[in-house]
Amino acid sequence: MIKGVNKRIVEINRTNDEYFDKAILFVSDGVGEVSPKQLSQHAENYLKKIGRRKNDTFKFFFTAIISAISTLLLTAIIMLILL
């Protein structure tokens, strides 16, 4: 349910996402007068940023796993040399 008649809304119909066809964003009350073009551009940038988060998380875990494996291999090599 949407309360209030004066809410400004930005609707993005092409999200370029495999799960979502459309995004509806409600403009904050504190935002002054902004052109519809600026709002649209900001909304698209916001959606791109949200989409990157999924990829950033994958990159973080991939890097962490590679680092852990490298550390284990280096430790094993040092232990073999010392023995």
Q: Over the stretch 30-66, which tens digit does the pLDDT of each residue have?
A: 777 878 788 888 888 888 887 765 666 677 888 889 9
Beta strands at 9-12 and 23-26: parallel, antiparallel or unpaired: antiparallel
Answer yes or no: are the C-beta atoms of 8 and 26 closer than 8 Å: yes
Beta bridge partners, 9, equal 26
State pTM to two decimals. 0.47
Q: What is d(CA 42, CA 18) in angstroms, rounded to the nearest whole number?
A: 21
Q: What is d(CA 20, CA 32) in angstroms, rounded to the nearest whole number?
A: 29
